């Protein structure tokens, strides 16, 4: 027994020493497991990313305490945001966001705002692509919009995830920009939307790349354009002859709409500066791991990273965009 | 016979010592997860997912899917012993399983439950092995109207299940629908029935309600009836397994029907919970023993358990071939696939043969391992009923409370559980059936979503539910089942009147 104990102690000291050498001294480090709140259900995009982060942190020993993912999906994510809002000054809680950071308080009137939280870092931006069934004749975004207009209002069905959230906002923006009119059908998850499109129960979708890529590769779906200023940078072939980079941006396809979704990290209100600096550093290291890079390219994410004032400014801008779009669409809570 | 070759290759992959070890670890963890109400398969797998990054993907999915099988098996244990469904799909198992335990036949009920789980899973895996591509294209035919017709069929096959007055059944069902409506509404994105109280926006979770209605309600009733479990006199006999097996072949028709219902519901994907309810409802209608259901019939355990496990297993098929999960647990596994860098979808079967066939082979082996594990424990589980009530009841209440808390990590859920316990007790005293309430609560919002999605698609035209042969057929069948009792009594009256 004593031998074992001694061995364990030696090992512990060696480990601690190793860590001490490899990482610079932090002004703050977690002293207990960090709760990583996901304001969405298990299995969705934010959940996947959070669990990947947990795995990467664990595998590469990036934090001395584990990250524990907790799903708080109630009220379109309001539950998760309220939980962290209430944890004022607690450095052991962080939250990953999706667009519901903006859309949920605007659409439901639940009292929280990103300004209640402490911004940590932007991890990536998620793209949206306009998809149609590959058996339809629409070869470009322009063709498709022309067909929608020709058919008359509400004849074409656009499927998306949730109501008054990103997918519907994009649909409304698309309608505004082109004058076409869709019937929007909300579903519970992105994978479900992609399959409904393959089964021709809906006419188009604005799925994220990762939600529809499998069906694209199988030749069931056709991407028309990506809702961003520029094309996606990934040039590896995804299908036989196309890469993400071959999909035109909607702007160049003649449908001037752009929208990206924030995958960012926030901490509790009034979280200590040192703790925020610590998390920024951890996520910087995560970005350098091969696992993260692979996940980014598989999902064709926009890998912009931001922290500090630059990040705050971006979030401010995004909130303004959401408010304008949702106001125009009549989605604001009364 | 390309599939057979591939399958044998899969067995070679799955039978490596590491994978076999992970299989048993997974099954044991799964059984524990299944036994604890609240900590469902989905949560359990989600918690363990990050641990699997260092493993090869095939080993990881073998372990995680074995947790899933274990949870499917384990859900039945507390349903039978204490009337507390460990998992949503074992609610229907309580209807006959618990009465059996009260009659001292817990061992028999558990053996029947486990064995039929295995049969259901085996059936589904065989379908999986040989018909995967065909079956995947069937799932594509399901849009919102088709889903609604399937839910309608579930409700209709279940109406008239309780022996109580029809009015009481409808009242219980309506309460269930009202509870299901609380929280965020998918179609409008608005909060409903929260009365401005943010704690309510989570809605009423089905598991919290079930733990309270069944578990706490049962304990309240036992307290009134003299602080004792009626199953105390349970015979503990290690031969019980063989004795039950000798009886089971009698129910092969029920079993086959349940396999078919389960597979269809898993593939569509409707999920294991509606499958188990529908299978129980249909068995009650069709079986010769039907009228005796609810009094401790082996067939009443076989039907829902077979269907639940068949559905749970086949739910993995749309996940792998289409990337759409057939159950919450499958949704988490799907996330796992993406994290491991695998892309579920039509090409997975072509590009990742080792992975897919290793997984399929592990389904055969994992379920067999699961059956062995749980069957050897039957006498042990049954012996739990011998523990005096005064010791076991507080333990159950604590487990129920932990279970209710784990669903959302919310304290409110524990209070709700107690409230539901009182409601459950009152319902029993006033002879209101609980099953319709539970069914409406678990399927209410999904049925509502698909109905309103259909209405959006058709611009409000109800004829969309008869717009093609598939949806029209299911809807018609549902209506026939709904009016069956009425029609039957009319015919009887004409004949004898």
pLDDT of B230 > 70? The answer is no
Rounded Cα–Cα distance for residues A228 and A243 (Å)? 16
Contacts of B52 in chain A (CB under 8 A): 55
Helix, strand, coil percentages for chain A (3-state, nearest 5) = 45, 20, 35
CB-based contact B50 A58, cutoff 8 Å: yes
Burial category of B17 from C-beta neighbours within 10 Å (exposed 0-12, middle 13-18, buried 19 and up)? exposed
Contacts of B350 (CB under 8 A, 6+ apart): none
List residues bridging with A223 in a β-sheet: A131
CB-based contact A51 B190, cutoff 8 Å: no
Residue A43 falls in which region: left (phi positive, over 0), alpha (psi -120 to 50) or beta: left
The share of chain B scoring above pLDDT 90, in percent, equals 29
Contacts of B43 (CB under 8 A, 6+ apart): A42, B33, B406
Distance from CA of B35 to the nearest CA of A (A): 21
Contacts of A10 (CB under 8 A, 6+ apart): none
Structure tokens at B183: 């929280």
What 3-state DSSP class applies to A327?
Answer: helix
Residue from the list B42, B53, B184 with its beta carbon closest to the beta carbon of A75: B184
Longest dimension (CA), chain A: 83
Q: Which of A158, A51, A168 is nearest to A99 (CA)?
A: A168
Q: Which of B102, B115, B47 is nearest to B76 (CA)?
A: B115
Report angle CA B38, A73, A173 to the nearest 5 degrees.
155
Q: What is the pLDDT of residues B325-342, one digit of tens each?
A: 767 788 788 888 877 878
The residue among B145, B208, B338 with the most chain A CBs within 10 A of its CB, best to mutate, is B338
pLDDT grade for B494, boundaries at 50, 70 and 90 = confident
Structure tokens at A57: 């942190």
Distance from CA of B46 to the nearest CA of A (A): 7
Query: What are the residue ranges of helices labelled H in chain A?
Result: 2-22, 45-59, 78-86, 100-108, 141-151, 166-178, 190-198, 209-217, 273-287, 290-298, 308-329
User: For B154-163, B227-236, B275-284, B286-295, which range has the lowest pLDDT when averaged over its residues?
Assistant: B227-236
A75 close contact with B: CB closer than 8 A:
yes
Q: What is the pLDDT of residues B141-159, one digit of tens each?
A: 899 999 999 899 888 877 7
Rounded Cα–Cα distance for residues A214 and A191 (Å)? 10
Number of Cβ atoms within 10 Å of the Cβ of B419: 14
The residue among A33, A37, A39, A43 with the most chain B CBs within 10 A of its CB, best to mutate, is A43
pLDDT of B497 > 60? The answer is no
Q: What is the pLDDT of residues A22-67, one digit of tens each?
A: 445 688 999 999 999 999 887 778 888 998 999 999 889 999 998 9
Overall size of chain B counted in residues:
497
* Helix (H) or strand (E) segment spanning residue B193: none
Instruction: For residues A161-170, give the mean pLDDT.
Output: 92
pLDDT of B311 > 80? The answer is yes
Structure tokens at B141: 């035919």
Q: What is the pLDDT of residues B392-425, one digit of tens each?
A: 888 888 888 988 888 787 889 999 999 999 999 9
Overall size of chain A counted in residues:
334
Rounded Cα–Cα distance for residues B393 and B228 (Å)? 9
Question: How many residue contacts between A and B have a Cβ separation below 8 Å?
Answer: 171
Q: What is the pLDDT of residues A154-163, one digit of tens each?
A: 999 999 998 9
Rounded Cα–Cα distance for residues B347 and B320 (Å)? 9
Rounded Cα–Cα distance for residues B53 and B373 (Å)? 27
Determine if the peptide bond prior to B141 is cis (ω within 30°): no
pLDDT grade for B164, boundaries at 50, 70 and 90 = low
Distance from CA of A43 to the nearest CA of B (A): 5
Residue from the list B143, B334, B457 with its beta carbon closest to the beta carbon of A199: B143
Rounded Cα–Cα distance for residues B111 and B302 (Å)? 10
Task: Please say whether the beta carbons of B345 and A215 come within 8 A.
Answer: yes
CB-based contact A42 B46, cutoff 8 Å: yes
CA end-to-end distance (rounded Å), chain A: 68
**Chain B residues 322-341 with CB within 8 Å of chain A:** 322-325, 328, 331-332, 334-335, 338-339, 341
pLDDT of B10 > 80? The answer is yes
In angstroms and rounded to an integer, the radius of gyration of the C-alpha atoms of chain A is 22
Report angle CA B234, B239, B243 to the nearest 5 degrees.
90
pLDDT of B72 > 80? The answer is yes
pLDDT grade for A15, boundaries at 50, 70 and 90 = very low
CB-based contact B322 A198, cutoff 8 Å: yes
Q: For strand A261-267 and strand A221-226, is the pairing parallel, antiparallel, or unpaired? A: unpaired
Tell me which residue has tokens 């630059």: A310
**Chain B residues 450-489 with CB within 8 Å of chain A:** 453, 456-457, 459
Q: What is the pLDDT of residues B337-390, one digit of tens each?
A: 877 878 888 888 888 888 888 888 989 999 999 999 898 888 888 788 778 888
Residue from the list A42, A154, A202 with its beta carbon closest to the beta carbon of B328: A42
Task: Please say whether the beta carbons of A190 and A45 come within 8 A.
Answer: yes
Instruction: For residues B96-103, give the mean pLDDT.
Output: 90
Contacts of B387 (CB under 8 A, 6+ apart): none
The residue among B184, B337, B350 with the most chain A CBs within 10 A of its CB, best to mutate, is B184
Contacts of B458 in chain A (CB under 8 A): none
Contacts of A211 in chain B (CB under 8 A): 323
Q: What is the pLDDT of residues A62-111, one digit of tens each?
A: 999 989 888 888 888 999 999 999 999 999 999 999 999 999 999 988 99
CB-based contact A217 B343, cutoff 8 Å: yes
Report angle CA A284, A318, B203 to the nearest 5 degrees.
90
CB-based contact A295 B323, cutoff 8 Å: no
CB-based contact B198 A56, cutoff 8 Å: no
B350 close contact with A: CB closer than 8 A:
no
The share of chain B scoring above pLDDT 70, in percent, equals 96
The residue among B50, B327, B413, B448 with the most chain A CBs within 10 A of its CB, best to mutate, is B50
**Chain A residues 150-169 with CB within 8 Å of chain B:** 154, 157, 162-165, 168
Report angle CA A145, A146, A151 to the nearest 5 degrees.
100
Distance from CA of A64 to the nearest CA of B (A): 16
Residue from the list A70, A164, A191 with its beta carbon closest to the beta carbon of B324: A191
Residue from the list A48, A108, A191 with its beta carbon closest to the beta carbon of B325: A191
Rounded Cα–Cα distance for residues A99 and A45 (Å)? 12
Rounded Cα–Cα distance for residues A296 and B213 (Å)? 45
| Residue A244 DSSP symbol | G
Q: Which residues of B232-270 are buried (b: 16+ CB within 10 A; e: fewer)?
A: eebeeeeebbeebeeebeebeebbebbbbbbbbbbbbbb
Contacts of A183 in chain B (CB under 8 A): 456-457, 459
Contacts of B451 (CB under 8 A, 6+ apart): B144, B148
| Chain CA centroid to CA B363, Å | 18
pLDDT of A253 > 70? The answer is yes
DSSP codes joined into one string, A270-306: T--HHHHHHHHHHHHHHHTSHHHHHHHHHTT-B---E
In angstroms and rounded to an integer, the radius of gyration of the C-alpha atoms of chain B is 22
Rounded Cα–Cα distance for residues B116 and B454 (Å)? 36
Longest dimension (CA), chain B: 74
| Residue B34 DSSP symbol | H
Report angle CA A31, A33, A38 to the nearest 5 degrees.
135
Residue from the list B144, B449, B456 with its beta carbon closest to the beta carbon of A183: B456
List the domains of chain A with CATH numbers.
34-126+261-329 (3.40.190.150), 129-246 (3.40.190.10)
- The pLDDT value recorded for residue B237 is 67
Q: Which of A99, A106, A197 is nearest to A144 (CA)?
A: A197
Report the predicted TM-score, pTM, of the whole model to 2 decimal places. 0.88
Contacts of B49 in chain A (CB under 8 A): 51, 55
CB-based contact A214 B188, cutoff 8 Å: no
Rounded Cα–Cα distance for residues B444 and B179 (Å)? 9
Contacts of A95 (CB under 8 A, 6+ apart): A36, A37, A38, A39, A80, A81, A84, A117, A265, A266, A267
């Amino acid at each position: 027994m004593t031998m074992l104990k001694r061995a364990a102690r030696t090992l512990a000291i060696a480990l601690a020493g190793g860590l001490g050498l490899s990482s610079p001294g932090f002004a703050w480090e977690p002293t207990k497991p960090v709760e990583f709140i996901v304001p969405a259900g298990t299995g969705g995009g934010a959940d996947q990313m959070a669990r990947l982060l947990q795995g990467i942190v664990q595998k590469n020993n990036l934090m001395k305490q584990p990250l524990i993912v907790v799903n708080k999906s109630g009220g379109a994510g309001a539950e998760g945001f309220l939980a962290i809002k209430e944890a004022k000054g607690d450095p052991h809680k962080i939250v990953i966001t999706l667009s519901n950071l903006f859309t949920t308080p605007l659409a439901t009137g639940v009292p929280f705002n990103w300004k209640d939280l402490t911004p940590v870092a932007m991890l990536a931006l998620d793209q949206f692509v306009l998809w149609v069934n590959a058996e339809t004749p629409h070869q470009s975004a322009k063709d498709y919009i022309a067909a929608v207009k020709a058919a008359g209002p509400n004849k074409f069905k656009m499927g998306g995830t949730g109501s008054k959230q990103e997918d519907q906002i994009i649909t409304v923006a698309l309608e505004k920009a082109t004058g076409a009119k869709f019937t929007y059908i909300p579903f519970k998850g992105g994978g479900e939307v992609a399959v409904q499109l393959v089964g021709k129960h809906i006419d188009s979708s604005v799925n994220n790349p990762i939600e529809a890529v499998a069906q694209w590769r199988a030749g069931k779906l056709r991407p028309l354009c990506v809702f961003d200023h520029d094309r996606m940078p990934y040039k590896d072939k995804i299908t036989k002859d196309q890469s993400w980079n071959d999909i035109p941006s909607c702007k160049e396809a003649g449908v001037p709409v752009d929208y990206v979704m924030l995958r960012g990290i926030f901490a509790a209100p009034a979280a200590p500066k040192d703790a925020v600096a610590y998390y920024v550093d951890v996520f910087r290291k995560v970005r350098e791991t091969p696992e993260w890079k692979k996940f980014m390219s598989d999902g064709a994410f926009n890998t912009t990273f931001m922290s500090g004032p630059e990040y705050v400014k971006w979030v401010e801008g995004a909130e303004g965009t959401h408010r304008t779009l949702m106001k125009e669409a009549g989605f604001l809570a009364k | 016979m390309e599939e057979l070759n591939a399958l044998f290759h899969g067995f070679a992959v799955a039978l490596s010592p590491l994978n076999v070890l992970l299989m048993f670890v997974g099954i044991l963890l799964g059984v524990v997860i299944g036994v604890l109400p609240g900590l469902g398969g989905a949560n359990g797998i989600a918690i363990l997912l990050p641990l699997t990054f260092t493993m090869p993907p095939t080993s990881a999915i073998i372990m995680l899917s074995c947790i899933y099988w274990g949870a499917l098996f384990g859900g039945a244990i507390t349903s039978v012993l204490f009337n507390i469904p460990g998992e949503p799909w074992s609610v229907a198992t309580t209807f006959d399983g618990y009465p059996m335990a009260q009659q001292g036949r817990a061992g028999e009920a558990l053996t029947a439950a486990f064995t039929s789980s295995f049969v259901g899973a085996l059936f589904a895996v065989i379908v999986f092995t040989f018909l995967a591509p065909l079956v995947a294209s069937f799932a594509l035919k399901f849009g919102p109207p088709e889903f609604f017709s399937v839910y309608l069929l579930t409700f209709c096959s279940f109406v008239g299940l309780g022996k109580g007055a029809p009015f009481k059944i409808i009242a219980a069902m309506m309460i269930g629908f009202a509870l299901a409506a609380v929280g965020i509404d998918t179609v409008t994105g608005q909060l409903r029935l929260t009365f401005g109280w943010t704690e309510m926006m989570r809605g009423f979770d089905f598991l919290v309600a079930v733990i309270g209605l069944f578990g706490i309600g049962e304990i309240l009733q036992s307290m009134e009836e003299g602080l004792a479990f009626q199953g105390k006199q349970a015979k503990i006999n290690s031969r019980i397994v063989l004795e039950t097996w000798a009886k089971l072949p009698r129910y092969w028709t029920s079993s086959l029907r349940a396999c078919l219902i389960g597979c269809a519901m898993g593939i569509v994907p409707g999920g294991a919970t509606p499958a188990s309810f529908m299978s129980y409802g249909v068995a009650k209608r069709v079986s010769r023993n039907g009228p005796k259901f609810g009094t401790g019939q082996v067939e009443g355990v076989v039907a829902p358990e077979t269907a639940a496990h068949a559905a749970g297993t086949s739910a993995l098929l749309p996940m792998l071939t289409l990337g759409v999960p057939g159950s919450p647990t499958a949704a988490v596994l799907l996330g796992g696939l993406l994290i491991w860098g695998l892309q579920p979808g039509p090409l997975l079967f072509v590009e990742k043969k080792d992975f897919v066939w290793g997984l399929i082979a592990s389904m055969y082996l994992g379920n067999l391992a699961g059956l062995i594990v749980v069957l050897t424990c039957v006498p042990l589980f049954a012996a739990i009923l011998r523990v005096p009530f005064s010791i076991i009841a507080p333990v159950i209440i604590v487990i129920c409370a932990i279970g209710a808390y784990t669903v959302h990590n919310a304290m409110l859920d524990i209070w709700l559980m107690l409230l539901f316990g009182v409601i459950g007790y009152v319902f029993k005293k006033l002879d209101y059936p609980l099953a319709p309430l539970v069914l409406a609560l678990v399927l209410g919002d999904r049925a509502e979503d698909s109905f309103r999605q259909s209405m959006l698609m058709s611009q409000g035209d109800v004829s969309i539910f008869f717009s093609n042969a598939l949806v029209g057929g299911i809807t018609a069948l549902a209506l026939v089942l709904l009016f069956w009792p009425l029609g039957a009594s009319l015919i009887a009256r004409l004949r004898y009147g």
